[in-house]
Chain A
Amino acid sequence: MIDIMANLIWIIVVVIGGALISQSVHFIPVGGAPAAMAQATGIGTGTVQLAAGAGLTGLVSAGYMMSVTDNLPLILASAAVGAMIMIAATMIVGSWVYAYGVGCVPASAKVKYDPLTKYRQDLYVSQGTEGHGLPTVCFVSGVIGAALGGIGGALVYYALMEVGMSVVSTNPNLVAVVTIFSIGIFFVNSVIPSYNIGGTIEGFHDPKFKKWPKAVISSLVASLLCAIVAAIAIGQLSGGL
């Protein structure tokens, strides 16, 4: 049985990672099904898919970096950049599809002027829609969110790896088990905020963004439960192998 107190610091790191993932979802411009029909601003798919896509890319980047170094800032930076590239590529290709395929301009229905470029938005919103495409502010918000999500995912992975390393220094199964726990914790923490925002959000300029403390508090509690459970299960790896 693993000593919970000895690993308390890593459990706290997992909880912080979970909260960061939860926060990151609020930044990503999720349009859901309406956006897929170019009737709402954002990327046309669900929160979970986007957050998971960005976060898991971050996890892979972090895992790769961890095979080379155990310098935490470098690992976090690698994860953040990996996730940012992933979400930026998704958003730029999405913008091309909206502009050249659907034939609509990127426009936000939530603000009159884009907070970053100061371009007028409301004139370009098609009637009967809640905006379409990905205006600059959404793009920037999405990249920030991806960075947070990547860092959150990497923190969870790094902390659980440290828990595992303290019981078994060389176990080829450790990486697999830690990865699957990270993915589980990641999904839990990306669905909770998606209920908070009701499925769609444009980014940090969206009025719904102000609701983030609710989701982060929920994620803190849920992550704490998952972290304790995961730490104990990883601690059991030493037996028999």
Chain B
Amino acid sequence: MSAGGSGEAKSSYPPQTTIGLGVVGGLLGIYAGGLLAPSIPELSFIGGIGAICAAIWGADAVRRVASYGLGTGVPSIGLLALGMGIVAALFGLSIGGIAGPIVAFIVACVIGVVIGALANRVIGMGIPVMEQTMTEIAGSGTLLILGLSVAIAGTFDYNVVVESVVKTGFIALIYIAGGMALLHPFNANLGADESQDRTLTCAFEKGAVSMVVAGIASAAGVGIGPAIVTVIIGTVLWYIGFTKYYALVKRDAYAVVGTGLLPSAEELQ
């Protein structure tokens, strides 16, 4: 259970599990997608899978910090994550070369820990997990952006990413779709009956939606064929995520009842 302002969130999966999933899955997806797609463009979708792993991790970090109550709504922290992430991602790719995604990830963690420390020490938010979660949120935001960028551009080469993701404006799409995958799950599920598996399933489903969006955008980057592959895989993952999510909603709800159709004018007489 976890509601905003209720203190530490109870978790069935410990933070280490989601951190491991996010870091390993995210980086693997980015590297596998970015290194394989130049020769086999259809494999660019792996970047999207990496983004989904990062989204699950990020949503879990948002869940842990936002359950203390941020005072300003959950969405703010998602937008902050992507703000830090976009700066770190482009920086990492620009100087890192093959190590780009790792450099981006480390820079994001540094920016995250500094902002977390500022929020706690200077602004005085007094959330015990602030530094750690802010680091995680910045890191997962960066991996999310990089994963979706790989899905669109088919590589993590700085100049190609700038050409086919930033210049085309798809970066704004990534910003909002990716931010939604981070901030929406806890925002939609918070309350007295919040449970971690339901929130994280929602993150999985939102990550798949952002993968579909990136797939559509990738038609202009890697080409129509790979775009169709990404969209189809994303849609399948979304369907799996959504049915699972709906099952968990039914599990956690007291009752799910149909309201029927609106009564007609005669019936209201």
Contact = CB atoms under 8 A, between A and B. Distances in A.
A181 interface: yes
Contacts of B162: 173, 176-177, 237
Contacts of B84: 184, 188, 226
A47 B72 contact: yes
Contact of A47 (B76, B118, B159): B76
A81 B62 CA distance: 36
A46 B78 CA distance: 13
Contacts of B107: 229
Interface residues on A, range: 35 or more
Contact of B114 (A177, A186, A221): A221
A73 interface: no
A46 B86 contact: no
Interface stretch (B22-30, B121-129, B212-220, B247-255): B121-129
Given A172-B167, A173-B166, A199 B91 contact: no
A6 to B, nearest CB: 17
A93 to B, nearest CB: 22
B82 A230 contact: no
Interface of B: 70-73, 75-77, 79-80, 82-88, 90-91, 93-95, 107, 110-111, 114-115, 118-119, 122-125, 158-159, 162-163, 166-167, 169, 171-172, 175
Interface of A: 1, 32-33, 46-48, 52, 172-173, 176-177, 180-181, 183-188, 191-192, 194-200, 214-215, 217-218, 221-222, 225-226, 229-230, 232-233, 235-237, 239-241
Given A177-B166, A188-B87, A221-B118, 16 more contacts: A173-B166, A173-B167, A180-B90, A184-B87, A185-B87, A191-B77, A192-B119, A196-B123, A199-B73, A217-B118, A225-B114, A229-B87, A232-B91, A236-B95, A237-B162, A239-B159
